[in-house]
Amino acid sequence: MTLAPQTLEHVRALEAAFHQRRPFEVKRSAVPLGAWDTDVLQVGAGPALLHGILLAQQGWRVTVADRRKVGQAHREWNISGPELEPLVQHGVLTREQVASLVVAQYRHGIIHWHGGKRRVVNRVLDHALDAGRVMELLVARGKESGIAFLEGHRWSGLTVHPNGVVVAFETDHGPLTVTARLVLDATGSSSPFADFDLACPTVGGVMEGLEEGTGDHQVDSTVGEILVSTEGVEEGRQHIWEGFPASSTAYTVYLFYYEQPHRVPADCLQALYRRFFETLPRYKRGDARLLRPTYGIIPGHTRLKPGGVSPADRVLRVGDSAARQSPLTFCGFGSLVRSCGPSTAAVGRLLESNTLDQHALNGTWQEPPQLRMMGVLALMMMERGAFVADPQGVNRLLEVAFATLENAGPDAFERFVRDQATPAEVMSFLLRLGRTYPAVFKDVARNVSFKDIAAWTVQAGRALAGA
Ligand SMILES: Cc1cc2nc3c(=O)[nH]c(=O)nc-3n(C[C@H](O)[C@H](O)[C@H](O)COP(=O)(O)OP(=O)(O)OC[C@H]3O[C@@H](n4cnc5c(N)ncnc54)[C@H](O)[C@@H]3O)c2cc1C
C-alpha cells in the first residue's frame, strides 16, 4: 500500500506547517481604527467553524478565512452519542441532520495493552461520523447565518489597535487586509500562537478488506477498539492503534504516538505511514486496502503550566490551536462540540460590552477541573527515555492503571474515559492505583519528572478545592 501523490503532497504540507510554525510578532498601534470590515474574523475553517456559526447566530457580523477551500475534511470523527446533543441544542443542526451524520455505531469499545487483558468500556466514542458531511452541513449553516467565507487566504500577520485588529493575508491575487473587532485563531496545530506541550502524530484511514471475525486480529463491525498496543516501545516510541467500524463493510484504523513537540521528526507522518503499512498485520489480518487516508498532528496540553486562550488583546484561540483535547483519547472534535456553547456565549457578552482585552478573553474558557488533573495522564502513554531498556514499561504502567479503573465499576470506568470523572474520583483512582500496585510510583517517577509531579500537585490541589 502507498499514498496517492496528492495525499503525499498534503501530508508533506502539514508536516512543514507544523515544523515551520513561527509565532507572529503581534504589532501594536495606538491609532484607533475608523471602521471594521467585520465584528469577528475567524481564521481557519475546520470544525472550529462552530464558533463562528454560534457568534453569527447571535447576530454578529462574522467572516471566516482559510488558506484552502472551506469545509475540507481529511479526518474521520468518532464521538460519544450524547456529545452530539449540543449541535441540536444550539440550533446548528436539526436532529435529522445529526442522525444523517452517523455512519456507524458500535455496541461497546475495548482497551487492550500488549500482554494485558482485553477490557470492555461502553458508550465511549461509539458513533462514527461522516466528517465530509459534517463540514458540508457546517459550511451550509454558516452561509445561512450570514458568514462571509474567504478561501485561499493565508494569514501572515496582525496589528492590534485600541478598538480592533488588522489582519494581513497572502492570497493568489496578492496581499490584502481585513479589519475586525475580534480575531479567532482557529488554524489548528499550525497556529502561530499554539503553545501546546504534547503532540500526537496520527495516520491511517478508512480501510476495506480486513478479515472479519471476533478474534484479536480480525475486525468486528459491532466493536470499537479505543486504545490497543501490539508491542512495547520500538524506535523509541510506544505506538498505539485505534480501530472503529466506519460502515458495514469499511473499518477506520489509526496508528499514533504521543510525543513532546520538539521531538516530533520533520517527516513524522510519512515515517508513521511507512510503519502503519509494515506493522498493520500485527494488528489486523486481511487483504487491506486504504480507501480514504486520514492523518494529522494533534496538539495536546498536559495542563502542567497554566495556559491562556488569548495570546493578545482582541485575539482568541479556539479548537486545536488552543489544544483543549481530551487528555486520554485526544479527541478534539468532541471537545469542540462540548465547549463551543459556553465559550461563544461568554465571547458574545464581551463583544456586547466591548471588553476584549487579553485578561477578559482568557476568562471565556472555564476548563472542567478534572481535565486539569487528567492532562498529565498522556505523559504515562509516552516514552520519555525511561523505557528504552525496559520496552514493556509503558504497557505495564497502562495495564495496572486500566485494571484499577475497571475495578472501580463499569460506570466509573466509562465516565473516566469520557473525561467526566470528578476531581475527587480522579484522586481516588490515583490513590487506589498506588495502594494496589505500589510499584507504579517507581514506573511513574521514571517517566514523569519531579517538576511535572510538583506542577501536577498544584493543579490537583486547585481542582479539588474547586478553584
Ligand atoms: C487522524 C485524526 C483523527 C481524529 N479523530 C478524531 C476523533 O475520532 N474524534 C475527535 O473528537 N477528534 C478527532 N481528531 C481531532 C480533530 O480532528 C481535531 O481536534 C479538529 O479537527 C480540530 O479542529 P480545528 O478546526 O481546531 O482545526 P483543524 O481541523 O486543524 O482546522 C484548521 C484549519 O485552519 C486552516 N489554516 C491553517 N493555517 C492557516 C493559515 N495560516 N491561514 C489560513 N488558514 C489556515 C486549515 O486549512 C484548516 O482548515 C482527529 C484528528 C486526526 C488528525
User: Closest Cα to residue 421, out of 347, 387, 349, 371?
Assistant: 371
Q: Is 71 left (phi over 0), alpha (psi -120 to 50) or beta?
A: left
pLDDT score for 348: 98
Please say whether the dihedral angle defined by the alpha carbons of residues 51, 52, 53 and 55, taken in this order, is positive or negative: positive
Q: How far apart are CA 277 and CA 294, in angstroms?
A: 14
In sequence order, the β-bridge partners of residue 295 are: 203
Residues of the chain with pLDDT under 70: 73-74, 330, 385-388, 447, 467
Is residue 330 within 8 A of residue 298, CB to CB? The reply is yes
Phi, psi of 127 (to 5 degrees): -115, 120
- The per-residue pLDDT for 74 is 67
Which residue is closest in CA terms to ligand 1's atom 5?
77
Contact 277, 205 (CB under 8 A): no
Whether residue 298 has its Cβ less than 6 Å from ligand 1: yes
CB 155 less than 6 A from any atom of ligand 1: yes
Interaxial angle between packed helices 423-436 and 393-407, expressed in degrees from 0 to 180 and rounded to the nearest 10: 120
**Angle at which helices 49-57 and 332-353 cross, to 10°:** 40
CA–CA separation, 124 and 414 (whole Å): 7
- C-alpha to C-alpha distances, 151 to 44, 83, 144, 167, 385, nearest whole angstrom: 10, 30, 17, 15, 43
- State the distance from the centre of ligand 1 to the C-alpha of 427, rounded, in angstroms: 32
Give me ligand 1 centre to Cα 374, in Å.
Answer: 22
pLDDT at 388: 62
- pLDDT tens track for 402-427: 999 999 999 988 888 888 889 999 99
**Mutational pocket test of ligand 1: of 176, 331, 340, the residue with most ligand atoms within 8 Å of the beta carbon:** 331
DSSP class of residue 119? E
Q: Which three cell numbers stand for residue 55?
A: 457568534
Q: Is 331 helix (H, G, I), strand (E, B) or coil?
A: coil
Ligand 1 neighbourhood includes 194 CB (under 6 angstroms): no
Question: In angstroms, rounded to a whole number, what is the distance separating the alpha carbons of residues 60 and 361?
Answer: 17
215 CA to centre of ligand 1 in angstroms: 33
Residue to substitute in 3, 49, 75, 315 for testing ligand 1 pocket (most ligand atoms within 8 angstroms of CB): 75
**CB contact burial 209-219 (16+ within 10 A = b; e otherwise):** bbeeeeeeeeb
| Cβ 77 under 6 angstroms from ligand 1 | yes
Retrieve residue 348's grid coordinates: 458574545
- The C-alpha cell that represents 379 in the structure block: 505523559
Question: Three-class SS of residue 18?
Answer: helix
Atom 39 (ligand 1) nearest CA: 187
Decide: pTM greater than 0.85.
Answer: yes
Closest CA to 405 of 216, 226, 219, 223: 226
Residue 299 Cα to ligand 1 midpoint, Å, equals: 10
Alpha-carbon distance 28 to 36, whole Å? 17
Question: Angle, to 10 degrees, between the axis of helix 440-447 and the axis of helix 450-465?
Answer: 110
| Cell numbers describing residue 7 | 495525499
Residue in the block written with cell 479526518: 75
State the Cα–Cα distance between residues 465 and 467, nearest whole angstrom: 5
- Residue 427: which H helix or E strand, with range? helix 423-436
Q: How much distance in Å is there from the Cα of 47 to the middle of ligand 1?
A: 7
Q: Which of 280, 343, 260 is nearest to 58 (CA)?
A: 343
Residue 46 CA, ligand 1 centroid: distance in Å: 6
Integer Cα distance of 252 and 119 in angstroms: 20
340 lines ligand 1 (CB under 6 A): no
Give counts: helices (H), strands (E), the chain: 15, 18
Strands of 172-268 (E only): list them. 174-185, 198-210, 223-228, 240-245, 251-256
Per residue in 290-322, pLDDT tens?
999 999 999 888 888 777 899 999 999 999 998
Cα 217 to ligand 1 centroid, rounded to whole Å? 30
